């Protein structure tokens, strides 16, 4: 099946470049059940090679296993709310063959249509956009959708982007490999923090803070150094 393989090749190469961590076959089945439709091959490949940590791409967006169980429901609810708020406007209806692949801050979602073949375009819909009645193609394919995220769209340096990705990746990985308190072995509650300070070489770098409730103390490490001990 050469044409099918070519769909996967770019996504697999990207995952290798990002040191991505993918879903198990059981997790992919769970996604399929939650969506209630077949998954396009390209999206299934994304789940297989990047589904657990997304390679650190798209931080702040629900896009990985453990984040996306409800995204289809959220998309439908968001459209319903907008229909109620804008009774005089035509509001988009999620197609039956849509696989919702992301949700961002509760007001925008992305989807692919499984009837459009192995490698469908990624479409988005957003609350507050001027055209509530239709979706917009944001990327020609899942591979393009991922590659777009590798490019800085603001003034952040390549190095800062890489650092941020690594930090997002570490946070997502902890969902599958919980890290315990280094002194008492108890559960840790994690949060991220970014401090901007002129003149500080670490300004804008992600700090990950772990709170041990049992001991009432907290630890931290740089998000882009996930293998260093907590301090
Ligand atoms: Zn502790």
Q: What is the pTM of this model?
A: 0.92
Q: Which domain holds residue 208?
A: 178-222
Q: At what angle do helices 25-35 and 41-50 cross, to 10 degrees?
A: 130
Domain shared by 142 and 189, yes or no: no
d(CA 230, CA 209): 9
Tell me: do 96 and 48 sit in the same domain: yes
Model pLDDT, residue 97: 97
In this structure, are 100 and 206 located in the same domain? no
Distance 55 CA to ligand 1 centre (A): 29
Interval between CA 64 and ligand 1 midpoint (Å): 29
Which of 148, 170, 201 is where one domain is finished? Answer: 148
- Banded pLDDT at 1 (limits 50, 70, 90): very low
What letter does residue 114 receive in the DSSP assignment? G
- The residue assigned the tokens 């007001």 is 107
In a 3-state reduction of DSSP, which class is residue 133? coil
Please compute Rg for the chain using Cα positions: 19
If one compares 136 and 3, the residue with the highest pLDDT of the two is 136
pLDDT category of residue 203 using cuts at 50, 70 and 90: confident
Mean pLDDT for the stretch of residues 47-68: 96
Spell out the long-range contacts of 210-215 with Cβ–Cβ below 8 A and sequence spacing 24 or more. Answer: 210/179, 210/181, 212/181, 212/183, 212/184, 212/186, 212/187, 212/188, 213/186, 213/187, 213/189, 214/181, 214/184, 214/186, 214/187, 215/181, 215/183, 215/184, 215/186
| DSSP symbols for 47-86 | HHHHTTTGGG-STTEE-STTT-TTHHHHHHHHHHHHHHH-
Do 200 and 86 sit in the same domain of this protein? no
CA atoms within 13 A on the CB side of 139: 16
List, for residues 92-151, the tens digit of each pLDDT value: 999 999 999 999 999 999 999 999 999 999 999 999 888 899 999 999 999 999 999 988
Instruction: Give domain status of residue 171, yes or no.
Output: no
The answer to whether residue 169 is domain-embedded is no
Distance CA 104, CA 133 (A): 19
Question: What distance in angstroms lies between residue 189's CA and the mean position of ligand 1's atoms?
Answer: 11
Is position 155 within any domain?
no
**How far is ligand 1, taken at its centre, from the CA of residue 75, in Å?**
39
Report the pLDDT value the prediction gives residue 155, as an integer from 0 to 100: 67
Residue 26 CA to ligand 1 centre (angstroms): 33
Domain boundary among 110, 128, 148: 148
CA of 180 to the centre of ligand 1 (A): 8
User: Domain holding 39: CATH number?
Assistant: 3.40.1580.10
Q: Which two tokens stand for residue 56?
A: 């650190």
Mean pLDDT of the chain: 94
Looking at the structure, tell me whether residues 14 and 125 fall in a common domain. Answer: yes
How close is the Cα of 179 to the center of ligand 1, in Å?
Answer: 11
Cβ partners under 8 Å of residue 4, min gap 6: 41, 118
- Give 152's pLDDT tier (boundaries 50, 70, 90): low
As a residue count, the chain comes to 231
Both 80 and 183 in a single domain? no
CB 167 within 8 A of CB 56: yes
Asked whether residue 62 is domain-assigned, the answer is yes
Report CA(70)–ligand 1 centroid distance (Å): 32
Structural domains of the chain, count: 2
In a domain, 216, yes or no: yes
User: Do residues 134 and 186 share a domain?
Assistant: no
Tens-digit pLDDT profile for residues 167-189: 999 999 999 999 999 999 999 99
**For residue range 58-83, what is the model confidence (pLDDT) as tens digits?**
999 999 999 999 999 999 999 999 99
Q: Which residues surround ligand 1, an ion (CB under 5 A)?
A: 181, 183-184, 186, 212, 215
Question: Residue 92 falls within a domain, yes or no?
Answer: yes
Output the CA 92–ligand 1 centroid distance in Å.
49
Please indicate, yes or no, if residue 227 is contained in any of the structural domains. Answer: no
Domain final residue, candidates 148, 163, 194: 148
CB atoms under 10 Å from CB of 10, counted, come to 18
Segments in 94-206 forming alpha helices (H): 142-148, 158-173
Distance 217 CA to ligand 1 centre (A): 7
Task: Kindly state whether residues 39 and 131 are assigned to the same domain.
Answer: yes
With pLDDT > 70 as the criterion, what percentage of the chain qualifies?
96
Give residue 226 CA to ligand 1 midpoint distance, Å.
19
């Amino acid at each position: 099946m050469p044409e099918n393989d070519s769909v996967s090749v770019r996504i697999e190469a990207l995952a290798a470049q990002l040191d991505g961590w993918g879903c198990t076959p059981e997790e992919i089945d769970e996604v399929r059940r939650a969506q209630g439709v077949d998954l396009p091959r390209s999206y299934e490949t994304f789940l297989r090679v990047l589904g657990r940590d997304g390679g650190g791409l798209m931080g702040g967006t629900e896009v990985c296993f453990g984040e996306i169980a409800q995204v289809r429901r959220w998309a439908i609810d968001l459209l319903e709310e907008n229909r109620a708020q804008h009774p005089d406007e035509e509001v988009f209806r999620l197609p039956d063959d849509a696989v919702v692949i992301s949700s961002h801050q509760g007001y925008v979602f992305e989807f692919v249509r499984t009837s459009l073949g192995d490698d469908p375009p990624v479409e988005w819909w957003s609350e507050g956009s001027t055209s509530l009645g239709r979706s917009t193609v944001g990327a020609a394919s899942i591979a393009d959708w991922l590659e777009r995220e590798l490019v800085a769209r603001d003034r952040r340096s390549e190095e800062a982007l890489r650092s941020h990705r690594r930090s997002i990746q570490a946070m997502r990985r902890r969902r599958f490999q919980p890290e315990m308190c280094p002194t008492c072995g108890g559960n840790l509650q994690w949060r991220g923090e970014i401090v901007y300070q002129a003149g500080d070489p670490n300004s804008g770098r992600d700090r990950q803070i772990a709170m041990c409730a049992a001991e009432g103390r907290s630890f931290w490490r740089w998000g882009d150094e996930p293998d260093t001990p907590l301090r």
